[in-house]
């Protein structure tokens, strides 16, 4: 990382000259690094992104360690940060407590006398962030973005995707076996007899498999239209009569709400039928498992280790657990994100970064508008609306203007379990309170110390937290070509989400409303299909392939983002007259180095396979070679010709934005 920033972001030491850029640009530009680098034992992936995340964690560690040394009045931000972190480090108390923090919950499950008592129990679990059967969230009403709406989604299974329960290929079997083993181990750690464990594990697997069958596929679950089913509470009561929904709403703190979007009605119906037919004894076993698995990571060492064995090792291939300080920091960060974030940006986010970033974003928007105007496949009326949406898109850079408050949250240095529960409940109340209030347009859905970015369809905005605005993605005084290839492509990527296969369904005001002519929609779908089919062919590992439908939105965003960022660089170079070659590479070529550097990563096969099945992002290599193989700008920069591995016949290239 240091070398890259000294090198103004342009790093030729990673090049592998035994690979031709025209055949595999990702490996050409990163190959030496890829060969030399080993994934640290406590990571499942290693590369630009993760290294920046780890680097940010180190900065945050310095903050919490400094705060830790002080003593502060109760309820102050410093007291909360300090005591949360200290409680995370305090393994001694956790050893002493064993399973005690969870006992009241387990007793409550044991004492259930009737299926109807499941409703208040589930409501109580959801309030403190423990999953079970379904989940709830507050977001803007997708068709009326001026209002908040409650959404219910399917959440009945323990493995990362329904396919693991229903499919029989080698990878599904491997994960299933690991999950069953994990269930056995955890039951044993909770002191449950071998006989009871065996029966319980079978029961949970049977019930979760039934819930998996009723669950919507992940491809459908990311389709905004397929998850849009507004219900009145009365309609929901008819759909899923085994739950007392009025009671659930009251217990959740929203007795006044009359409507909710049920994202997967078929799932809710099936779950309700199961509640009516499966004996209470089985539900007790199922709920006990949810509680144990969701909270074991907050208990003593042996429980934490078991959670690591399944989630860290089996699912992600990590060899070693993260050190205690990183886990304690992660918990503090997760619960007090904007408190820690305030200190982080004061110390690590220079004002110039925001200014330079704003200029970059301006360039990207200007380039986008030009692109839309010159699209050969879109009709005039739709173009006009696309530009309208683009101009209405809001941007947030660095950190929020208005910080979230944490007043009233009780944080104790000796109560890690309680801190997590109270914080989850505090956030639950914060969310529920939004219902009926005007939309808070200052809100951020990501903390400033998170190395990531996002696009919100309903808000029609793009958001770039401070932590992603650092080398190697963005260097204040670095090579502009690399900056436009790196952070520029990220900006273009996020803008394009507003125009990807899902984002394009939302208008400038953030409402799900068709603004396309039928003809344009047909052409857009056909163009997206080319990209889907290209990605379906890419192989990840051991026969596991990329899922072109699941990754379609991200791939459209990658392709559009790179195209627009490239245009923006050309505009910038023309304006500034700063075109020059560095180490024999043109700015056009360095742009693609920037793009590739952003994606540079090695991943353990376990994580690669889990992610191929669950992550809407394609693996790094294809996020570089995929767009490159479609971009005439790449062909021109590196002289790609027929016969080269990345070459595609013009007709087979995808060009959307």
- 3-class SS of residue 395: strand
CB-nearer residue toward Zn ion: 11 or 494: 494
Terminal-to-terminal C-alpha distance of the chain = 32
The answer to whether 472 touches 4, Cβ cutoff 8 Å, is yes
Cα–Cα distance for residue pair 606/542, rounded to 1 Å: 10
CB-nearer residue toward Zn ion: 554 or 588: 554
CB-nearer residue toward Zn ion: 314 or 557: 557
> Which single residue is written with the structure tokens 């423990």?
130
Q: How far is the CB of 627 from Zn ion (least distance, A)?
A: 13
Other CB atoms within 10 A of residue 245 CB: 20
Q: Which of residues 499-558 bind Zn ion (CB under 5 A)?
A: 554, 557
Q: How far is the CB of 493 from Zn ion (least distance, A)?
A: 6
CB-nearer residue toward Zn ion: 557 or 640: 557
Other CB atoms within 10 A of residue 342 CB: 18
Which residues neighbour 103 within 8 Å (Cβ) at sequence distance 6 or greater?
A: none
Q: How far is the CB of 498 from Zn ion (least distance, A)?
A: 11
How far is the CA of 133 from the CAs of 118, 272, 288, 414, 499, in angstroms?
11, 10, 13, 31, 33
Cα–Cα distance for residue pair 355/444, rounded to 1 Å: 19
The answer to whether 481 touches 571, Cβ cutoff 8 Å, is no
Tokens matching residue 263: 């994202």
Q: Which of residues 552-591 bind Zn ion (CB under 5 A)?
A: 554, 557
Q: How far is the CB of 557 from Zn ion (least distance, A)?
A: 5
DSSP 574-626: HHH-----BTTB-HHHHHHHHHHHHH-EEE-HHHHHHHHHH-SSPPHHHHHHH
Q: How far is the CB of 515 from Zn ion (least distance, A)?
A: 22
| Torsion sign over Cα 487, 488, 493, 498 | positive
Strand partners for 465? 398
Of 27, 16, 43, the closest CA to residue 622 belongs to 27
Q: How far is the CB of 385 from Zn ion (least distance, A)?
A: 23
Q: How far is the CB of 590 from Zn ion (least distance, A)?
A: 23
CB-nearer residue toward Zn ion: 332 or 551: 551
CB-nearer residue toward Zn ion: 214 or 397: 397
Of 446, 441, 440, 439, the closest CA to residue 463 belongs to 446
Q: Which of residues 59-98 bind Zn ion (CB under 5 A)?
A: none
Q: How far is the CB of 626 from Zn ion (least distance, A)?
A: 14
Q: How far is the CB of 439 from Zn ion (least distance, A)?
A: 23
Q: How far is the CB of 554 from Zn ion (least distance, A)?
A: 5
Q: How far is the CB of 415 from Zn ion (least distance, A)?
A: 38
Q: Write the secondary structure of 149-210 as one string of H (helix), E (strand) and C (coil).
A: EEEEEECCCCCCCCHHHHCCCHHHHHHHHHHHHHHHHHHHHCCCCHHHHHHHHHHHHHHHHH
CB-nearer residue toward Zn ion: 90 or 554: 554
Tokens matching residue 337: 């994100």
Other CB atoms within 10 A of residue 2 CB: 8
CB-nearer residue toward Zn ion: 308 or 622: 622
CB-nearer residue toward Zn ion: 154 or 502: 502
Q: Which of residues 411-470 bind Zn ion (CB under 5 A)?
A: none
Number of residues counted as binding Zn ion (CB under 5 A):
2
Cα–Cα distance for residue pair 310/317, rounded to 1 Å: 9
Strands 544-545 and 539-541: antiparallel
Q: How far is the CB of 486 from Zn ion (least distance, A)?
A: 15
Cα–Cα distance for residue pair 106/102, rounded to 1 Å: 6
The answer to whether 225 touches 506, Cβ cutoff 8 Å, is no
Q: How far is the CB of 497 from Zn ion (least distance, A)?
A: 6
Respond yes or no on whether the N-terminal peptide bond of residue 472 is cis (omega within 30° of 0).
Answer: yes
Cα–Cα distance for residue pair 531/630, rounded to 1 Å: 9
Which residues of the chain form contacts with Zn ion (CB under 5 A)?
554, 557
């Amino acid at each position: 990382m240091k070398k890259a920033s000294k090198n103004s972001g342009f790093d030729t030491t990673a090049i592998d000259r035994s690979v031709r850029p025209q055949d595999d640009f990702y490996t050409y530009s990163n190959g030496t690094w890829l060969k030399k680098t080993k994934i640290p034992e406590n990571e499942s992936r290693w590369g630009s992104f993760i290294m920046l995340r780890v680097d940010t964690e180190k900065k945050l560690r310095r903050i919490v360690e400094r705060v830790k040394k002080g003593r502060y009045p109760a309820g102050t931000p410093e007291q909360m940060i300090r005591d949360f972190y200290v409680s995370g480090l305090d393994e001694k108390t956790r050893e002493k407590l064993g399973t005690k923090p969870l006992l009241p919950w387990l007793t409550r499950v044991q004492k259930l006398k009737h299926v109807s008592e499941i409703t208040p129990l589930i409501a109580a679990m959801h309030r403190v962030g423990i999953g079970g059967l379904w989940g709830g969230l507050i977001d803007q009403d997708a068709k009326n973005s001026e209002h908040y709406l409650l959404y219910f989604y399917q959440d009945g299974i323990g493995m990362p995707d329904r396919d693991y329960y229903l499919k029989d290929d080698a990878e599904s079997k491997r994960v299933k076996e690991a999950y069953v083993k994990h269930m056995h181990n955890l039951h044993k750690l909770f002191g449950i007899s071998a006989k009871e464990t065996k029966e319980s594990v079978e029961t949970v697997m049977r019930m979760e498999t039934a819930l998996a069958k009723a669950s919507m596929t992940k491809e459908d679950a990311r389709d905004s239209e397929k998850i849009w089913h507004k219900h009145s509470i009365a309609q929901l009561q008819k759909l899923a009569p085994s739950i007392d929904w009025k009671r659930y709403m009251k217990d959740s703190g929203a007795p006044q709400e009359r409507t909710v979007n049920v994202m997967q009605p078929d799932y809710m119906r099936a779950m309700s039928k199961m509640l009516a037919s499966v004996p209470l004894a089985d539900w007790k076993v199922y709920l006990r498992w949810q509680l144990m698995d969701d909270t074991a990571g907050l208990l003593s060492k042996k429980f934490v280790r078991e959670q690591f064995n399944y989630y860290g090792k089996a699912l992600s291939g990590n060899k070693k657990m993260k050190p205690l300080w990183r886990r304690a920091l992660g918990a503090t960060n997760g619960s007090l994100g904007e408190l820690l974030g305030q200190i982080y940006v004061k110390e690590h986010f220079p004002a110039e970064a925001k200014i330079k970033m704003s200029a970059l974003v301006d360039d990207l928007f200007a380039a986008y508008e030009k692109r839309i105007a010159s699209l050969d496949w879109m009709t005039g009326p739709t173009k006009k609306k696309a530009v309208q949406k683009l101009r209405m898109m809001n941007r947030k850079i660095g950190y929020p203007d208005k910080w979230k408050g944490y007043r009233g949250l009780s944080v104790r240095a000796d109560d890690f379990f309680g801190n997590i529960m109270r914080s989850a409940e505090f956030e639950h109340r914060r969310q529920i309170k939004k219902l009926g209030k005007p939309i808070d347009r200052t809100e951020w859905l990501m903390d400033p110390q998170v190395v990531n970015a996002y696009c919100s369809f309903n808000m029609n905005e793009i958001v770039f937290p401070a932590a992603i605005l650092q080398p190697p993605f963005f260097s204040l005084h670095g090579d502009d070509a690399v900056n436009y290839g790196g952070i520029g492509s990220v900006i273009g990527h996020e803008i394009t989400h507003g125009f990807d296969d899902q984002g394009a369904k939302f208008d400038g005001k953030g409402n799900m409303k068709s603004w396309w002519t039928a003809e344009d929609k047909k052409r857009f779908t056909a163009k997206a299909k080319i990209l889907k089919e290209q990605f379906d062919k890419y192989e990840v590992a051991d026969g596991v392939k990329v899922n072109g439908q699941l990754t379609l939105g991200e791939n459209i965003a990658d392709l559009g983002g790179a195209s627009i960022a490239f245009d923006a660089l050309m505009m910038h170079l023309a304006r500034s007259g700063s075109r020059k070659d560095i180490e024999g590479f043109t700015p056009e070529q360095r742009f693609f180095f920037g793009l590739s550097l952003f994606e540079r990563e090695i991943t353990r096969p376990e994580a690669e396979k889990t992610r191929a099945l669950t992550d809407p992002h394609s693996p790094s290599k294809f996020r570089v070679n995929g767009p490159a193989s479609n971009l005439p700008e790449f062909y021109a920069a590196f002289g790609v010709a027929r016969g080269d591995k990345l070459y595609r016949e013009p007709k087979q290239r995808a060009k959307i934005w």
